[in-house]
Amino acid sequence: MSKIKSIQAIQVLDSRGYPTVACKVATEAHSAISMVPSGASTGSKEALELRDNNNEYCGKGVAKAVDNINSKIKNAIIGMDCSQQFKIDDILIELDGTTTKSELGANSILAVSIAVMKLAAKTKHIELFQYVNDLFNINFSSEIQMSLPVPMLNIINGGEHANNNIDIQEFMIIPNGAESFSESIRWSVEIYQALKTNLKVLSYPTTVGDEGGFAPNLNSNQEALDHIMRAIEDVTLKPGVDVSIALDCAASEFYSDGMYKLKAEKKSYSSTEFTSYLTSLVKSYPILSIEDGMDENDLKGWKFLTKELGQKCQLVGDDLFVTNVNELKEGIENNVANSILIKFNQVGTIKETFETFLLAKNNNIKTIISHRSGETEDTTISDISVGLCAEQIKTGAPARSDRTSKYNRLLFIESENQSLDYANKIFN
């Protein structure tokens, strides 16, 4: 029994320079720290991120969430065994008592939930990814293996993540032909640097957006795709064979009055027309995956998109499912999307994240463990991706420590665990 002896939260800074919640939990012999991420293009059904909205930190302070940990949450779980993850998560859920975690804030609840999980791994003297795997299999009588995920790297940033005119939020590469995780990272770095050189030659700025990808003003989405194709070819890799492309449209951000409005291209599309637009992109470029291709509430649009592209492409629900088991259930019933983005701060606890993951696995919905656009040096998602045997991880560009810390953690896991499978077979 490893009793929790102390819990303490403070405000630290995330990658955008705004406060976020950090939490330290300790037993007599060990301690663990967590830091929670924060989204910018959030789904409307996400659990609530509690902000102070006062005159400190531009209204973005999280002092209330921190106080909730240092008082109510502390009183409720101090003395408990840190290996009782699901029981502790249930107490946190109950203590909050709302469906959206609006009483205590999902940022306070998640910080504790993650820190407890990390602490339990330490007390058992095992790696976090191994503990994640055990925790999942024991609680769900499951037998999932562990593997290294295929990375999706965001190399051109638009939408809410950049101060430019590109409407599609993320242009990513998937090194699907690489034989190992480390090879996929090497290829991605080479492509990222080639892209930077090419943009410089064309006198585009090479400043980056929130997730480390370049953020130039371009004339169209196609232009972004052309630059990526060229960068892949410049490093003598084959587009579509070695390296493919993924998009996150984050379409809810440019959907209004029933239309998808692309500012850069000065075009406005109905959901049927926007599906045709995406279909034409899939025909012209090696696009393997499209995330949030429709607005989160445009069910008709999602059904049509899935009917048209669901056999050819991975269609990922992010704002659509918000890592919520009920939203995913509804999506499965309605036959929309075929993959899910898993972000634990959308739902607020490890237990609920695992429940959504289990439902996805049981229904052959592909899983992508994901960062948020506001990140910290916390690398828990890397261990989760390995421990849950997720097919993919999405954690930004191969640049900036808030992103590379996740890839670097996976590089260490790979080098120290040579027997781990690499999940590239899903695309081949």
Nearer to Zn ion, 242 or 248 (CB): 248
Return the sign of the alpha-carbon dihedral for residues 53, 353, 83, 385: negative
Question: 393 has which bridge partners?
Answer: 151, 369
Distances (CA, A) of 248 to 41, 129, 177, 189, 372: 11, 27, 21, 20, 13
Nearer to ligand PGA, 278 or 341 (CB): 341
Residue 42 binding: pick among Zn ion, ligand PGA, none (C-beta 5-8 Å cut-off by kind): ligand PGA
Structure tokens at 347: 């739902």
- Shortest Cβ contact with ligand PGA: which residue? 39
When CB distances are held under 5 to 8 angstroms depending on the partner's kind, the choice from ligand PGA, Zn ion, none that residue 275 binds is: none
Strand intervals (E) in 185-286 = 244-248, 255-256, 259-262, 267-269
Catalytic residues: 211, 343
40 binding partner (options ligand PGA, Zn ion, none; Cβ < 5 to 8 Å by kind): ligand PGA
CB count, 10 Å around CB of 2?
Answer: 18
Q: Which residues pair with 287 in a beta bridge?
A: 245
Q: Judged by CB under 5 A, does residue 248 bind Zn ion?
A: yes
Shortest Cβ distance from residue 318 to Zn ion (Å)?
Answer: 3
- Contact predicate 165/263, CB 8 Å: yes
Judged by CB under 5 A, the stretch of 94-102, 173-181, 244-252, 416-424 that binds Zn ion is 244-252
Quick one: how far is CA 167 from the chain centroid? 19
**In the block, residue with structure tokens 């993650």:** 114
Closer residue to ligand PGA (CB): 38 or 68: 38
Binding site for ligand PGA (CB under 6 A): 39-42, 248, 250, 318, 341, 370, 372-373
DSSP 3-state assignment of 161? helix
Cα–Cα distance measured from residue 407 to residue 170, given in angstroms and rounded to the nearest whole number:
18
Q: Which entry of ligand PGA, Zn ion, none binds 172, CB below 5 to 8 A by partner kind?
A: none
Residue 376 interacts with, from Zn ion, ligand PGA, none (CB under 5-8 Å by kind): none
Contact 157, 170 (CB under 8 A): yes
Would you say 377 and 401 are in contact if contact means Cβ atoms under 8 Å apart?
yes
6-13 β-sheet, strand order: 6-13, 19-26, 31-35
Contact code string over 262-301 relative to Zn ion, x by CB under 5 A? -----------------------------x----------
User: Which lies closer to ligand PGA via its Cβ, residue 42 or residue 108?
Assistant: 42
| List of residues 6+ apart from 96 with CB closer than 8 A | 102, 103, 104, 109
Q: How far is the CB of 80 from ligand PGA (least distance, A)?
A: 31
Cα angle for residues 259, 39, 301 (degrees, 5° grid): 25
Which C-beta is closer to ligand PGA: that of 30 or that of 394? Answer: 394
Beta strands in 301-416 (DSSP E): 314-317, 339-342, 366-370, 392-394
- Residue 346 binding target from ligand PGA, Zn ion, none, CB below 5 to 8 Å by type: none
Report, in Å, the least distance between residue 380 CB and Zn ion.
Answer: 19
| C-beta of 49 vs 291, nearer to Zn ion | 291
The least CB distance from residue 67 to Zn ion, in Å, is 31
Q: How far is the CB of 244 from ligand PGA (least distance, A)?
A: 18
Name the residue nearer to ligand PGA (CB basis): 11 or 373: 373
373 binds, among ligand PGA, Zn ion, none (CB under 5 to 8 A by kind): ligand PGA
Q: 300-339 mask for Zn ion (x: CB under 5 A)?
A: ------------------x---------------------
Q: What is the chain's length?
A: 428
Compute the least distance from the CB of residue 248 to ligand PGA, in Å: 5
- Which is it for strands 366-370 and 392-394: parallel, antiparallel or unpaired? parallel
Instruction: Work out how close the CB of 98 gets to ligand PGA at its nearest, in angstroms, rounded to a whole number.
Output: 21
The binder of 39, among Zn ion, ligand PGA, none, by C-beta within 5 to 8 A per type, is ligand PGA
- Selection from 372, 410, 365, 401 nearest residue 149 by Cα: 410
CB of 208 vs Zn ion, minimal distance in Å: 18
Nearer residue to Zn ion within complex by CB, 30 or 406: 406
Q: Which of residues 220-239 bind Zn ion (CB under 5 A)?
A: none
Q: Which residues bind Zn ion (CB under 5 A)?
A: 248, 291, 318
